[in-house]
Amino acid sequence: MKKSLNFAVIMLISFIALAVFVQNSVAADLVLDTTIKSATVSNDKNGNEYVRFIIVEDKELHGIAYKADTVVMAFGSTVATAKTYSDGDKLKAIASSNEYKGRMNYNILAFIAE
């Protein structure tokens, strides 16, 4: 009986920890409406093209406002459209937000035509 109870408690704790982890790892989609600081077309290790944009975001930490460069990536079907953009262009797109090595970045899901 005691083993069954211990097992049930461990399973419950594991389930709760997994639920919290999964909830925190789900990326939120958002609309980016910003200016491109720099645009670079490159190839990955498999020879597939991708586009990396650098944008500037306004951020705040402990009441201190600052600007930070943020990476926006275009892969797969979004590359052809992304290659038409250059430094200083207005970027309007739907993107998923991700955290990589402690820094926020975005992957373009679709471009918004104006």
From the CA atom positions of the chain, what is the Rg in Å? 20
Q: Tens digits of per-residue pLDDT, 1-31?
A: 666 666 666 666 766 655 555 544 555 799 9
| In the chain, where the domains are located | 27-111
Query: Is the CATH number of domain 27-111 2.40.50.140?
Result: yes
CA distance 22 to 95: 20
Total Cβ atoms within 10 A of residue 96? 14
**For 84-104, what is the mean pLDDT?**
91
| pTM: predicted TM-score of the whole model, two decimal places | 0.72
Q: Tens digits of per-residue pLDDT, 65-81?
A: 999 999 999 999 999 99
CA distance 97 to 15: 26
Q: So what's the pLDDT on residue 102?
A: 81
User: Is residue 85's pLDDT more than 60?
Assistant: yes
Q: Tens digits of per-residue pLDDT, 32-46?
A: 999 999 999 999 999
